[in-house]
Amino acid sequence: MMNGDFLALLPKNPFGQLSGGKAGEELTLHATTVFAFHCSAGVIMAGDHRATAGNTIFSDKTEKILELDAHSMMAIAGSPAVAFEMARTLQTTFEFYRRSQLQSMSLAAKIRSLSKLLRDNLPATLQGFGAVSPLFAGIETDDPNARPIIQFYDPLGAQFEAANFASSGSGSPTIRSVLHFLEKWGNPRPQDMSLEQAVVLANRLLMTAAEFDAATGGVHPDRRLYSTLKLLTRHGIQSLTVDEHERYWQRAES
């Protein structure tokens, strides 16, 4: 029965799987869990390091939080090859605009640029091997009172602004549920947390998602393995180091 949701038909598409040595073996690579939320310092964007193909772990060192310019970044879930190419295209586009127009591209134009790339990727999305469902965070640099925003996209390019948080990938339902609970009943709520509290929360969210989703790479403080995490503020993008992760984690657990 047709229900009007053609994305639900993608797993049935024979082009969605590439047969290898075994019939029906899925070889398409996927990046898994990413999320973003507001905290008192700005917007936290984080993700795990795992890339999978079916039930095979291809990598636990995948970087999924990509800086597009000094004031915008994206988190990737879906096909890494397509997502990385989209990021490179946006980086080049934003830099060319800045140099040729002697000013930064507007935030609205950046948001639409990613939407257009997703729409242009429709053939690969329909075939089931090139779908990307990214998150975007940015700030309007021309407005001194502007706050960072979070946008999430469907694989066809439709964009939506997230009020407080957004997530994408296989572990996203768990993370979205926890963030919703904390925003409604937490004390403090994520949007009121300090940077240190938000970093600890991000790592705990990935640990929780990994308990219920095999495709999500977990956080292992005993091995100094933490999430990839970046903070967007009015002043730009800050990447959290392993030492900062460890210091914040040890304080929270002590």
Whether 18 is in a domain gets the answer no
Q: Is residue 104 part of a domain?
A: yes
Among residues 157, 123, 133, the alpha carbon closest in space to that of 80 is found at 133
Nearest to 106 by CA among 143, 133, 53, 65: 143
Q: What is the mean pLDDT of residues 221-245?
A: 96
For residue 9, tell me if it sits in a domain.
no
Residue 200's identity, in one-letter code, is V
> Which sequence positions are flagged as catalytic?
32
Between 147 and 16, the higher pLDDT residue: 147
pLDDT of residue 78: 86
Q: What is the pLDDT of residues 138-160, one digit of tens each?
A: 999 989 899 999 999 988 899 99
Long-range contacts of 243-247 (CB under 8 A, 24+ apart): 244/199, 245/199, 245/203, 246/221
How confident is the model at residue 4, as a pLDDT? 46
pLDDT tens readout for residues 20-62: 344 334 455 566 799 999 999 999 999 998 877 777 777 778 8
Structural domain containing residue 160: 33-253
- Segment 224-252 shows an average pLDDT of 96
Sheet containing strand 30-31, strands side by side: 30-31, 51-53, 56-59
Number of domains in the chain: 1
- Say if residue 144 is preceded by a cis peptide, omega within 30 of 0: no
The predicted structure's pLDDT at residue 134: 95
Token reading at 194:
């300090």
pLDDT in tens, 76-115: 988 888 999 999 999 999 999 999 999 999 999 999 999 9
CATH number at residue 138: 3.60.20.10
Q: Of 111, 189, 101, which is closest to residue 148 (Cα–Cα)?
A: 111
Q: Measure the CA–CA gap between 249 and 253, rounded to whole angstroms.
A: 6
Give CB contacts under 8 A, 24+ apart, made by 187-194.
190/37, 190/38, 190/39, 190/164, 190/165, 191/37, 191/38, 191/39, 191/40, 191/164, 192/39, 192/40, 193/39, 193/40, 194/39, 194/40, 194/41
Crossing angle of helices 107-120/80-101, nearest 10°? Answer: 140
Assigned domain for 135 exists = yes
Residue 45 forms part of a structural domain: yes
Residue 25 is assigned to a structural domain of this protein: no
pLDDT score, position 44: 98
More confident residue, 65 or 12: 65
